[in-house]
Amino acid sequence: MPHPFIQLFKTPRSQYVYDANKNEILPVSSEAFCFLSNCTRGSENIETTSLTEIKELRQQGYLATESVVQDIRHPYTPFVGDFLDRKISQMTLQVTQGCNLRCKYCIYSEEINQHQRSHSSKSMDWKTAKQAVDFLYAHSIDSDHVTIAFYGGEPLLALPLIQQVVAYSRELFDGKEIDYTITSNGTLLTDEIMHFLVNEKIHLVISLDGPKEIHDRNRVFAGGGGTFDTIMKNLGRLKELDAEYHEKIQFSMVMDPANDFDCINEITISTKDFNQHNINAAIVDREYDEEEAAFSEKYIWKFRYQNFLAFLSVLGRFPPNRVSAISRSAISSLIQDARYIDLSGPLRQIDVPGGPCIPGQMRLFVNVDGNFFPCERVSETSPVMSIGSLETGFNVEKAIYLLNVGAITKENCRNCWAIRHCSSCAKKADIGEETLSAQFKLSHCESIRLNAYVKLRQLILLNEINCHYSDQVREKKRMAK
């Protein structure tokens, strides 16, 4: 029996159908919802129904039983060469592979990683760095603005090289907007380095995983011992030197979901040591370890509770300063996304899942040896992820192959209701071989679909506020007056 190409959503007040072909969310009656549920289970036939609501929707082109997508191909495929030739906007330089820490979840750890390089003391030399900057110069004609990001290991171990790159690139790119960013573990910030960062307006991102108890569990010096106190001391000094610069520091928080979320989150509520709005949190990446992150009950339920409080704070029913900054940031992103959910339009005959970017165009990663990768998150040892080098230039065919990763699972992707909301890219299909793995890619689909489902349901809730919950919101404001 034909199944409609849809996904169903139910809230306490109403019911909805997401039409995948149209990329639209429609409210439906409970009768229609019930019928459509039965259709998806195969116990009803949508083509022979007498339900007026269903028939009318089908007449308008909704509730089709097949995907309109016939082929998976990214529309920019013929132009990848042009984008890589003229529109590079950010280059990330791996100035060193050396690091003074040995974080327990580090993707470069010899003990746990399967498909990534290990710690080493290799550093980029000036010849390679200059060649990389010249490459960016020659391949950013159509970019009004470029960024050079410094990465490691711990990039501050290669400070003289960074200083050379900044001086050289400032002169070379005179007349074009250029800025710099550095991702650091925050333990090597001397006064000299702080002055350099402030004077050159280099955007600083510091890795900080939570309060001392949580942070020091994983982020330790190579010789042993936690790093939290050192980082806090350095942040305090930086605040003394330049409070305005200090206020703009970003923090990258790796969350180990084995921990209690309240413990992780404590630092975002109680701290006065930095701007808590500048925290970007993500779950620890274990993909290259062939493991999945283990989620504790204390993490799951407390994270959900904080998200609930974040929703209430958006509605004016709970003080925002008592909500986790991590959850507030997530809800803000959701609200932002809600504005643009229909941007990508309905599905087309030739279409592509929503995940991939043009490899190398937005965040070209250059390792110490001058080899190119789509970004700093992929494996440097994976043959399929290498997209060229400073010596050979871009391998455009490889970039096209990675961009069209959806083609290796064409039948699954074209028939997936979440195709428009997919976050999968070539990294999810990388098993360290010469070609991408369809099987490995498909192993992520369930969680991606679940994330898409949760996100759309939250968007529906936000839309319901004005029609179902406006009285409660207004009541609170009247009482506040």
Partner 1 sequence: MKIEVAVFPFHERMLPFIRHFNQAQDVYHICQAIAWSGSGLNGRDAAFICCHPNIGIPVVSPTETKSFIGWQILFVDCDELERSSAAFNSFTFFEQLLSKGKKIIAVAKNNNLCSNGEWTPLCQKYSEQIQFFSAADDVKGKPTSQSSGYSLLSVPVLLVGGLISQEDCLEVILALRESFMCQGKVVSCLTGSNMGLLMGMHTYTHIFDKKATLSEEDKALVLNQMAQDIVQVERPSLFIVEAPDPMMKYNNAAPNGFGLQTYLLCQALKPNLLVCSVPPDVAVAEGFLSLISKDFTARYGVPIMALHVNNVMVAAFDIIRLHKVTCVHTNIPVADMLRKQQSKNCAFPIFNVVSEGADGLAQLILQREALLW
In the complex, what is the shortest distance from the CB of residue 177 to partner 1, in angstroms, rounded to a whole number? 7
In the complex, what is the shortest distance from the CB of residue 58 to partner 1, in angstroms, rounded to a whole number? 22
In the complex, what is the shortest distance from the CB of residue 112 to partner 1, in angstroms, rounded to a whole number? 33
Determine if 329 is a binding residue for partner 1 (CB under 8 A): no
Site mask for partner 1 (CB under 8 A), range 288-327, x = bound = ----------------------------------------
Annotate the chain with three-state secondary structure: CCCCCEEEEECCCCEEEEECCCCEEEEECHHHHHHHHHHHHCCCCHHHCCCHHHHHHHHCCCCCCCCCCCEECCCCHHHHHHHHHHCCCEEEEECECCCCECCCCCCCCCCCCCCCCCCCCCECCHHHHHHHHHHHHHCCCCCCEEEEEEECCCHHHHHHHHHHHHHHHHHHCCCCEEEEEEEECCCCCCHHHHHHHHHCCCEEEEECCCCHHHHHHHCEECCCCECHHHHHHHHHHHHHHCHHHHHCCEEEEEECCCCCHHHHHHHHHHCCCCCHHHEEEEECCCHHHCCCCCCCHHHHHHHHHHHHHHHHHHCCCCCHHHCCHHHHHHHHHHHHHHHCCCCCCCCCCEECCCCCCCCCCCCEEECCCCEEECCCCCCCCCHHHCCEECCCEECHHHHHHHHCHHHHHHHHHHCCCCHHHCCCCHHHHCCCCCCCCHHHHHCCHHHHHHHHHHHHHHHHHHHHHHHHCHHHHHHHHHHHC
> Which is nearer to partner 1, 46 or 352 (by Cβ)?
352
Q: Which stretch binds partner 1 (CB under 8 A): 73-81, 100-108, 116-124, 210-218?
A: 73-81
In the complex, what is the shortest distance from the CB of residue 9 to partner 1, in angstroms, rounded to a whole number? 23
Site mask for partner 1 (CB under 8 A), range 136-165, x = bound = -xx-xxxxx---------------------
Q: How far is CA 5 from CA 40, 65, 353, 396, in A?
A: 9, 5, 16, 35
Tokens 């003080």 correspond to 319
> Which is nearer to partner 1, 357 or 462 (by Cβ)?
357
Q: Which stretch binds partner 1 (CB under 8 A): 133-141, 219-227, 434-442, 458-466?
A: 133-141
In the complex, what is the shortest distance from the CB of residue 370 to partner 1, in angstroms, rounded to a whole number? 20
In the complex, what is the shortest distance from the CB of residue 151 to partner 1, in angstroms, rounded to a whole number? 20
> Which is nearer to partner 1, 32 or 166 (by Cβ)?
166
Size of the site for partner 1 (CB under 8 A): 33
> Which is nearer to partner 1, 108 or 135 (by Cβ)?
135
Determine the Cα–Cα distance for residues 479 and 481; give it in Å rounded to an integer. 5
Among 343, 411, 479, 480, binds partner 1 (CB under 8 A): 343
CB neighbourhood size of 246 (10 A): 20
In sequence order, the 6+-apart residues with CB closer than 8 A to the CB of 424 are: 353, 355, 356, 405, 406, 441, 444, 445, 448
Residues 168-207 that bind partner 1 (CB under 8 A): 170-178
> Which is nearer to partner 1, 89 or 327 (by Cβ)?
89
The number of residues making up the chain comes to 481
In the complex, what is the shortest distance from the CB of residue 37 to partner 1, in angstroms, rounded to a whole number? 32
Q: Which stretch binds partner 1 (CB under 8 A): 5-13, 70-78, 153-161, 385-393?
A: 70-78
In the complex, what is the shortest distance from the CB of residue 109 to partner 1, in angstroms, rounded to a whole number? 32
In the complex, what is the shortest distance from the CB of residue 171 to partner 1, in angstroms, rounded to a whole number? 7
Tell me whether strands 90-94 and 71-72 are parallel, antiparallel or unpaired. Answer: unpaired
Burial category of 287 from C-beta neighbours within 10 Å (exposed 0-12, middle 13-18, buried 19 and up): buried
> Which is nearer to partner 1, 83 or 150 (by Cβ)?
83
Among 272, 339, 478, 481, binds partner 1 (CB under 8 A): 339
Site mask for partner 1 (CB under 8 A), range 439-468, x = bound = ------------------------------
> Which is nearer to partner 1, 123 or 140 (by Cβ)?
140
Site mask for partner 1 (CB under 8 A), range 75-94, x = bound = xx-xx-xxx--xx-x-----
Tell me whether strands 6-10 and 15-19 are parallel, antiparallel or unpaired. Answer: antiparallel
Determine the Cα–Cα distance for residues 412 and 429; give it in Å rounded to an integer. 14
> Which is nearer to partner 1, 42 or 75 (by Cβ)?
75
> Which is nearer to partner 1, 142 or 290 (by Cβ)?
142
In the complex, what is the shortest distance from the CB of residue 196 to partner 1, in angstroms, rounded to a whole number? 18
Among 357, 375, 438, 465, binds partner 1 (CB under 8 A): 357
In the complex, what is the shortest distance from the CB of residue 141 to partner 1, in angstroms, rounded to a whole number? 5
In the complex, what is the shortest distance from the CB of residue 419 to partner 1, in angstroms, rounded to a whole number? 16
In the complex, what is the shortest distance from the CB of residue 338 to partner 1, in angstroms, rounded to a whole number? 11
> Which is nearer to partner 1, 90 or 96 (by Cβ)?
90
Site residues (vs partner 1, CB under 8 A): 75-76, 78-79, 81-83, 86-87, 89, 137-138, 140-144, 170-178, 339-340, 343, 357-358, 361-362
